[in-house]
Chain A
Amino acid sequence: MKPLIEVKDLHVSLQAQGEVIRAVRHVNFTLYEGERLGIVGESGCGKTILMKSLLQLLPPAATVDSGEIWYQGTDLVKLSEKQLQKIRGKEIGMIFQDPMTSLNPTLKIGYQIAEGYLRHFPQVTKKEADARALELLKQVGIPDPELRLQQYPHLLSGGMRQRAVIALALAAKPSVLIADEPTTALDVTIQAQILDLLHHLQKDMSTLLITHDLSLVAAFCDRVLVMYAGQIVEEAEVGELFARPQHPYTQRLLQSIPRIDGKGEKLFPIAGSPPDLSASLQGCAFCSRCTDAMNICRTETPPLFELPSQKTRCWLLDPRRKQ
């Protein structure tokens, strides 16, 4: 498989009330052509900051401290704002969590989609762009697409708005689609519809799905990165991750979530909460919540150990331990 996006040793920090929060640390990953890659983690783990840094859409308080993001032979970190605008939407499309705030409330749906298309294909006529908008609304399964083109976002339900946002993201036929919690704001029956739609659309794109919901990853992705406290702690094929999770955090996370198909008497929560990333972290970020923590875990940050089937950031998997 051909690599499409390669992230190399990325560090992103945030300035907040005089403190520096190291939101993304030592992140390396590759998104391959045609792949569905999931990034899973809890709130504050840095997954959204990571996703926003890919297209340099970071809030003003955030900066990329070091690292490279390679796409088609260019390092996106080094591009100017003008150069980035040619990539955003055209090469890499995005869907955000809240479909209401991703749409401009004062512009008609059809106009917003056509605008995105015209921006990247200036030679196209207005009429052609309108036709493309209609075609896209049909593609994402919005009922009465002709009517919806003429409507403002507030007249659409949450599920329909998310479909419109997806249509917008697809307008310029990007080769990568980044979806940040695309179904979190939606009801489960609507979530099922949107997942179904993403499945259908995925055929000629690579997708990066960012979510807190391991079940979504199981249902949608080929490969998954687990993030904790700004780092990738585990990377594996989806089947492997769920069958044989290696990192204690992944293991505990899987035990703490309820399953619809199994009756359980008790859930096993993870005690405590994630560490404060403003404090200078020593050792493994998970060690304060880990029941298997050893002395070394408190003093030295573990590297990502390469196992036959996955990569895991945990001292327990240090090959030197197995005599």
Chain B
Amino acid sequence: MLAPRSSEETVIIVKNLHFKYSSSKGDIRAVDDVSFEIPEGKTLGLVGESGCGKSTLGRLLLRLHEPTEGEVLFDGNNIFSFSPSELKKWRQEAQMIFQDPYASLNPRMTAEDIIAEPLKIHGIDIDPGIIAKTFQQVSLNPQHRSRYPHEFSGGQRQRIGIARALILNPRFIVCDEPIAALDVSVQAQIVNLLKELQQQMGLTYLFISHDLRMIRYIADEVAVMYLGKIVEKAPTEMLFQNPLHPYTQALLSAIPLPDPVAEKKRTRIVLAGEVPSPLHPPKGCGFCSRCPKVMDVCKNTVPPLKEVEPGHFVSCHFVKY
């Protein structure tokens, strides 16, 4: 049975989550001892470069993968111990928006059928009024309901994907790079839409992105991932004003500013080398092979994730507590 929900609750609690892929060459720890919480109605931004495990983590939160270890509590219930019927019921509450609005919509289905499909799957009566309302919620013209995906632009397609995620009236949505495939002028449309919907419906988001610029606009809290681990986590402004992990600092400095004057004044931290293969991660801190501040201890001991100021967690030997 699902526990009754109380207001002001933390919707998602992730506890010591591990996920290992096995390949012929050995095990890859895609998610390595990750813990965090997301309060109701808030957004956690998850950033990291390709291969850091951020998408795998997002999918674990929707139980699209089974973890090697650890739990994800949704309203206090571990989603990995749900029975099949409990799982199906819970899926109404937790939805996903995908990166590629071209690949995530069936080209043979009309917009209306795509948006109504979740209702069908959950055996809910399809009320044309609800469909029209959902079209309007995402600023799509309900008159275009019988058009096919190829007749929409990329931004409109992403709106269809959002409408499909909303129709079941969920509480939690994993947005996996929802704007990465869109043009710059359209990205802002989608981010603003997601923010408005959050305010109207009290949605809780996990917003996965490699783009720290957008994260700053949408997230209340940001977690930075590197080689399967969260290396820094803080309320958004705290992280941007005072990044403590050398990786976060490098990430922030690597992003050019749309301002040539400021660009000339900046000194960019250019990291040497590349992310090590997850098949052979460094023995100590995952970042030690590229870290400009590396010390001997970093090469042997994994730094713990420690709270250095209220709400600000860092995993780095260099940061003094």
With a cutoff of 8 Å between Cβ atoms, the chain A residues found around residue B259 in the complex are 218, 242, 259
With a cutoff of 8 Å between Cβ atoms, the chain A residues found around residue B186 in the complex are 269-270, 273
Contact A43 B183 (CB under 8 A): yes
Per-residue B-contact encoding for A210-239, CB less than 8 Å = 1, 0 else: 001111101110000000000000000011
Contact A188 B184 (CB under 8 A): no
With a cutoff of 8 Å between Cβ atoms, the chain B residues found around residue A143 in the complex are 273
What is the CA–CA distance of A257 and B256 in the complex, to the nearest angstrom?
Answer: 12
Contact B260 A239 (CB under 8 A): yes
What is the CA–CA distance of A192 and B270 in the complex, to the nearest angstrom?
Answer: 6
> Please, how many residues of chain A have a CB less than 8 angstroms from a CB on the other chain?
45
Per-residue B-contact encoding for A245-275, CB less than 8 Å = 1, 0 else: 0000000111011111101101111110100
What is the CA–CA distance of A210 and B303 in the complex, to the nearest angstrom?
Answer: 42
Q: Counting CB contacts under 8 A, is A28 at the interface?
A: no
Partner of A219, one of B187, B236, B263, B270: B263
What is the CA–CA distance of A196 and B268 in the complex, to the nearest angstrom?
Answer: 9
Q: Which of B183, B192, B210 has the most CB of A within 10 A?
A: B183
Q: Interface residue tally of chain B, by bracket? A: 35 or more
What is the CA–CA distance of A218 and B183 in the complex, to the nearest angstrom?
Answer: 18
Q: Counting CB contacts under 8 A, is B153 at the interface?
A: yes
Q: Counting CB contacts under 8 A, is B271 at the interface?
A: yes
Q: How far is the CB of A21 from chain B (nearest CB, A)?
A: 15
With a cutoff of 8 Å between Cβ atoms, the chain A residues found around residue B253 in the complex are 192
Contact B192 A258 (CB under 8 A): no
Number of A-B contacts (CB under 8 A): 126
With a cutoff of 8 Å between Cβ atoms, the chain B residues found around residue A191 in the complex are 254
With a cutoff of 8 Å between Cβ atoms, the chain B residues found around residue A160 in the complex are 274
With a cutoff of 8 Å between Cβ atoms, the chain A residues found around residue B262 in the complex are 261
Q: Counting CB contacts under 8 A, is A83 at the interface?
A: no
Within 8 A of A (CB), among B271-302: 271, 273-275
Contact A192 B257 (CB under 8 A): no
Q: Counting CB contacts under 8 A, is B36 at the interface?
A: no
| 20 extra interface residue pairs, beta carbon distance < 8 Å, beyond A192-B254, A219-B257, A256-B187 | A42-B183, A143-B273, A160-B274, A188-B254, A192-B268, A192-B271, A216-B256, A218-B258, A219-B256, A219-B260, A219-B263, A242-B259, A242-B260, A254-B258, A258-B188, A258-B213, A261-B257, A264-B217, A267-B191, A269-B192
Across the A-B interface, the 9 shortest Cβ-Cβ residue pairs: A269-B188, A219-B256, A267-B188, A187-B49, A192-B254, A215-B256, A269-B189, A258-B213, A270-B185
